[in-house]
Amino acid sequence: MSPAEPRAAGEVAELEEQEERLVLDSFGNDDAWELGTLVAELARGRGAVVTIGIRRGAQRLFHRALPGTSADNDAWIDRKSAVVERYGESSFLVGARFRAKGRTFEESSRLPADRFAAHGGAFPVRLRGTGVVGVVAVSGLPQADDHALVVEGLERYLAAGREGPRRSPVEAP
Protein backbone atom coordinates (compact mmCIF):
# COMPACT_ATOMS: atom_id res chain seq x y z
CA MET A 1 0.00 0.00 0.00
CA SER A 2 1.51 3.34 -0.99
CA PRO A 3 1.55 6.25 1.50
CA ALA A 4 -1.05 8.04 -0.63
CA GLU A 5 -3.61 5.21 -0.44
CA PRO A 6 -4.58 5.66 3.26
CA ARG A 7 -4.93 9.41 2.68
CA ALA A 8 -7.13 8.76 -0.37
CA ALA A 9 -9.25 6.26 1.59
CA GLY A 10 -9.75 8.85 4.36
CA GLU A 11 -10.74 11.44 1.78
CA VAL A 12 -13.33 9.05 0.31
CA ALA A 13 -14.83 8.41 3.77
CA GLU A 14 -15.08 12.15 4.48
CA LEU A 15 -16.72 12.85 1.12
CA GLU A 16 -19.19 9.98 1.61
CA GLU A 17 -20.14 11.42 5.02
CA GLN A 18 -20.87 14.80 3.44
CA GLU A 19 -23.19 13.21 0.91
CA GLU A 20 -25.06 11.27 3.58
CA ARG A 21 -25.49 14.42 5.67
CA LEU A 22 -26.37 17.00 3.01
CA VAL A 23 -29.80 15.75 1.99
CA LEU A 24 -32.83 17.97 1.38
CA ASP A 25 -36.51 17.32 1.99
CA SER A 26 -37.62 19.34 -1.05
CA PHE A 27 -36.06 21.32 -3.89
CA GLY A 28 -37.85 23.74 -6.16
CA ASN A 29 -36.99 26.71 -8.33
CA ASP A 30 -37.02 29.16 -5.42
CA ASP A 31 -34.77 26.83 -3.41
CA ALA A 32 -32.25 26.85 -6.27
CA TRP A 33 -32.33 30.65 -6.33
CA GLU A 34 -31.76 30.90 -2.56
CA LEU A 35 -29.00 28.29 -2.50
CA GLY A 36 -27.26 29.78 -5.53
CA THR A 37 -27.47 33.28 -4.10
CA LEU A 38 -26.05 32.04 -0.80
CA VAL A 39 -23.08 30.37 -2.54
CA ALA A 40 -22.51 33.53 -4.62
CA GLU A 41 -22.52 35.66 -1.44
CA LEU A 42 -19.99 33.33 0.19
CA ALA A 43 -17.76 33.55 -2.89
CA ARG A 44 -18.02 37.33 -3.18
CA GLY A 45 -17.22 37.74 0.51
CA ARG A 46 -13.96 35.88 -0.09
CA GLY A 47 -13.12 37.60 -3.34
CA ALA A 48 -13.43 34.25 -5.11
CA VAL A 49 -13.76 34.38 -8.87
CA VAL A 50 -16.26 31.61 -9.62
CA THR A 51 -19.24 30.63 -11.67
CA ILE A 52 -22.14 28.90 -9.91
CA GLY A 53 -24.68 26.68 -11.63
CA ILE A 54 -27.65 24.73 -10.30
CA ARG A 55 -29.72 22.27 -12.32
CA ARG A 56 -32.68 20.06 -11.62
CA GLY A 57 -32.65 17.37 -14.26
CA ALA A 58 -31.95 19.01 -17.60
CA GLN A 59 -33.26 22.43 -16.50
CA ARG A 60 -30.88 25.19 -15.42
CA LEU A 61 -32.45 26.86 -12.40
CA PHE A 62 -29.59 29.16 -11.39
CA HIS A 63 -26.49 30.57 -13.06
CA ARG A 64 -24.19 33.28 -11.74
CA ALA A 65 -20.83 34.19 -13.23
CA LEU A 66 -18.90 36.50 -10.92
CA PRO A 67 -16.63 39.14 -12.48
CA GLY A 68 -13.41 37.63 -13.80
CA THR A 69 -14.91 34.30 -14.91
CA SER A 70 -15.19 33.09 -18.49
CA ALA A 71 -17.00 30.60 -20.67
CA ASP A 72 -14.34 28.07 -19.62
CA ASN A 73 -15.92 28.03 -16.15
CA ASP A 74 -19.28 27.17 -17.73
CA ALA A 75 -17.64 24.28 -19.60
CA TRP A 76 -16.08 22.99 -16.34
CA ILE A 77 -19.47 23.17 -14.62
CA ASP A 78 -21.03 21.16 -17.44
CA ARG A 79 -18.28 18.51 -17.34
CA LYS A 80 -18.31 18.17 -13.54
CA SER A 81 -22.12 18.10 -13.47
CA ALA A 82 -22.11 15.32 -16.07
CA VAL A 83 -20.09 13.19 -13.62
CA VAL A 84 -22.66 13.79 -10.86
CA GLU A 85 -25.51 12.94 -13.22
CA ARG A 86 -23.80 9.73 -14.35
CA TYR A 87 -22.53 8.46 -10.98
CA GLY A 88 -25.03 10.02 -8.55
CA GLU A 89 -22.16 11.28 -6.37
CA SER A 90 -20.09 14.44 -6.17
CA SER A 91 -17.50 14.93 -8.87
CA PHE A 92 -14.82 15.15 -6.17
CA LEU A 93 -15.90 11.83 -4.59
CA VAL A 94 -15.88 10.08 -7.96
CA GLY A 95 -12.35 11.33 -8.64
CA ALA A 96 -11.26 10.38 -5.10
CA ARG A 97 -12.54 6.82 -5.57
CA PHE A 98 -10.34 6.44 -8.66
CA ARG A 99 -7.34 8.00 -6.86
CA ALA A 100 -7.84 5.65 -3.88
CA LYS A 101 -7.39 2.74 -6.30
CA GLY A 102 -4.22 4.28 -7.73
CA ARG A 103 -5.92 5.19 -11.01
CA THR A 104 -7.12 8.33 -12.69
CA PHE A 105 -10.66 8.99 -13.78
CA GLU A 106 -9.47 10.18 -17.18
CA GLU A 107 -7.63 6.93 -17.95
CA SER A 108 -9.93 4.45 -16.24
CA SER A 109 -13.49 5.69 -16.78
CA ARG A 110 -13.40 5.42 -20.57
CA LEU A 111 -15.54 8.55 -20.71
CA PRO A 112 -14.67 11.43 -23.05
CA ALA A 113 -12.67 14.11 -21.21
CA ASP A 114 -14.40 16.86 -23.17
CA ARG A 115 -17.74 15.83 -21.58
CA PHE A 116 -16.79 14.50 -18.10
CA ALA A 117 -14.46 15.85 -15.40
CA ALA A 118 -14.16 14.16 -11.99
CA HIS A 119 -12.75 17.31 -10.40
CA GLY A 120 -14.17 18.87 -7.26
CA GLY A 121 -16.98 21.37 -7.47
CA ALA A 122 -20.20 19.58 -8.47
CA PHE A 123 -22.40 18.09 -5.75
CA PRO A 124 -25.65 16.15 -6.04
CA VAL A 125 -28.91 17.71 -4.92
CA ARG A 126 -30.29 14.69 -3.11
CA LEU A 127 -33.85 14.49 -1.76
CA ARG A 128 -34.67 12.32 1.22
CA GLY A 129 -36.64 9.30 0.01
CA THR A 130 -36.14 10.17 -3.66
CA GLY A 131 -32.43 10.36 -4.50
CA VAL A 132 -30.49 12.68 -6.76
CA VAL A 133 -32.66 15.24 -8.55
CA GLY A 134 -30.09 17.85 -9.51
CA VAL A 135 -26.62 19.32 -9.21
CA VAL A 136 -25.09 22.40 -7.62
CA ALA A 137 -21.69 23.25 -9.09
CA VAL A 138 -18.90 25.80 -8.76
CA SER A 139 -15.92 26.44 -11.02
CA GLY A 140 -13.01 28.83 -10.70
CA LEU A 141 -10.99 27.72 -7.67
CA PRO A 142 -8.71 24.74 -7.13
CA GLN A 143 -10.91 21.63 -7.12
CA ALA A 144 -10.84 21.06 -3.34
CA ASP A 145 -11.86 24.70 -2.80
CA ASP A 146 -14.66 24.50 -5.39
CA HIS A 147 -15.98 21.44 -3.55
CA ALA A 148 -15.62 23.06 -0.13
CA LEU A 149 -17.53 26.15 -1.26
CA VAL A 150 -20.48 24.05 -2.46
CA VAL A 151 -20.46 21.98 0.75
CA GLU A 152 -20.37 25.09 2.92
CA GLY A 153 -23.23 26.60 0.94
CA LEU A 154 -25.35 23.48 1.42
CA GLU A 155 -24.48 23.29 5.12
CA ARG A 156 -25.49 26.92 5.68
CA TYR A 157 -28.62 26.52 3.58
CA LEU A 158 -29.74 23.52 5.64
CA ALA A 159 -28.74 25.14 8.95
CA ALA A 160 -30.84 28.19 8.12
CA GLY A 161 -33.86 25.97 7.50
CA ARG A 162 -34.30 27.57 4.10
CA GLU A 163 -35.48 24.50 2.24
CA GLY A 164 -39.14 24.05 1.46
CA PRO A 165 -41.72 26.21 -0.28
CA ARG A 166 -41.95 29.83 0.82
CA ARG A 167 -43.34 31.67 -2.17
CA SER A 168 -46.16 31.17 -4.54
CA PRO A 169 -45.09 29.88 -7.97
CA VAL A 170 -45.71 33.28 -9.57
CA GLU A 171 -43.97 35.41 -6.95
CA ALA A 172 -40.64 36.86 -8.10
CA PRO A 173 -37.50 36.00 -6.14
If you write DSSP's letter for every residue of the chain in order, what string do you get?
A: --THHHHHHHHHHHHHHHHHH--BS---HHHHHHHHHHHHHHHHHHT---EEEEEETTEEEEEEE-TT--HHHHHHHHHHHHHHHHHSS-HHHHHHHHHHTT--HHHHS---TTT----SSEEEEEETTTEEEEEEEEESS-HHHHHHHHHHHHHHHHHTT--S--S-TTS--
Q: Decide which of 74 and 3 is more confident.
A: 74
pLDDT at site 10:
82
Mean pLDDT of 101-130: 95
Confidence of residue 168 (pLDDT cuts 50, 70, 90): very low
Mean of the per-residue pLDDT values of the chain: 90
Mean pLDDT of 88-105: 94
pLDDT at site 1:
42
pTM: 0.88
Domains, the chain, ranges and CATH?
A: 4-159 (3.30.450.150)
